[in-house]
Structure 1
């Protein structure tokens, strides 16, 4: 027996969904709302980084960053450290989804002076990233890239790299929950 479709109810339910998503988009709340939903998904640990079978590639330290205070930092200044690099933007829901988990990772490893965290904003207006960090009360160090090493080019946000002993030892395009015991050990060991 087939059910008769109530087209009026279907039209109303679709209209409500379109109105909700349209309102989120018009008000600019779509990125934070979708980011929050993705953060909940990451909290389940269903999406975690795989650090096996990593292609190792030499890293060219020719690049320069700028801090929110206007201080310039070259990649060469960090070449004796393990470097965690994450490219993100305030308009990118998956970036916003993984940010709380990266903040927790940073909090657990910030006292290890052999590890540098570089959260590199791809926002056209760096002030948006600065205001976002302040609003969320994140301690993660954020930067804007003035000159990027060729090996860090990616068309995907978020993209994360780990550099150890002058080599790129990890690359992940897309969101992930990096705050796992395995990944913390991976960052901490030389």
Structure 2
């Protein structure tokens, strides 16, 4: 066609490196920077906004429920603690993919640590290990890390409830029978 057609467009650009740094390193042309920098939003990384994790988890579960025709109601407190201790190098997309992947394995109403064991590589990211959790020996896999963290959380709940299994189960938001099975597996003690 020889006819000119005028269009009105908006260009939205995102980068994982501060544009000014790219400009200083001469990886971004100055004229392009000033053309694009009409309105600037700085959105912090997920690792800097961990208080947003519960809402994001609920949002991604809702999306995945619709996609997969499931009815998952949320995650256990152990999963939420695990997520808050993780550094999320893949940012919000990693969280979204983690939730969707776990939902493929989920059987219950809540996503538990077991639902997340198969989706990561055999190496545990160092960021997963935080100051309050037991140390993870180098070369151990995610399954080991999850079990150690779960054991730590159960021991803590039992200590806080004077080894009262029913109270610990309520605090951990898991059925008493589930907690009994885990206590037996980890060779812990509790009072019924």
TM-score norm. by structure 1 comes to: 0.24
Decide which structure has the larger Cα Rg and report it. Answer: 2
Structure with bigger RCO (C-alpha 8 Å, 6+ apart): 1
- Which protein has the bigger helix share? 2
TM-score norm. by structure 2 comes to: 0.24
